[in-house]
Amino acid sequence: MPPLFGYRIELGFNMATEQRRDRLNWVFYPGLILCIAYSFLSRREYSTEVFQGFVATSLFYGENFYVRRREYLGKLWLRKVIVATIPLHVLYLAGLF
């Protein structure tokens, strides 16, 4: 790839994907703040589970289906994949807790 403003761009760099990853961060970090607030304001025995569940769910579904496969969200096959992964994700969270 030719240099852009004197700097080489990484192979496979996609500006749209990076922008979606930034938007995912805008959801992820306030969610972490809410999890911390929940741990201080609510019952402490479930705060760890809420935190772990939020991090695992937001990173898995956000990165895999929103950031990487956003252009396919309108397709039926991706919706079926998302629905098919929910039981596996629930089992993962149940095993984690």
Number of structural domains the chain divides into: 1
Query: Could you read off the pLDDT of 44-86 as tens digits, one per residue?
Result: 778 888 888 888 888 888 888 888 888 888 889 888 988 999 9
**Segments in the chain forming alpha helices (H):** 15-41, 47-61, 76-96
Query: Could you read off the pLDDT of 2-33 as tens digits, one per residue?
Result: 555 667 777 777 787 788 888 888 888 888 89
Residue 19 resides in a domain: yes
Residue 66 resides in a domain: yes
Residue 10 resides in a domain: no
pTM of the predicted model as reported, rounded to 2 decimal places: 0.67
Residue 5 resides in a domain: no
Residue 70 resides in a domain: yes
Residue 4 resides in a domain: no
Structural domain harbouring 72: 15-96
Residue 50 resides in a domain: yes
Residue 21 resides in a domain: yes
The two structure tokens encoding residue 54? 């939020």
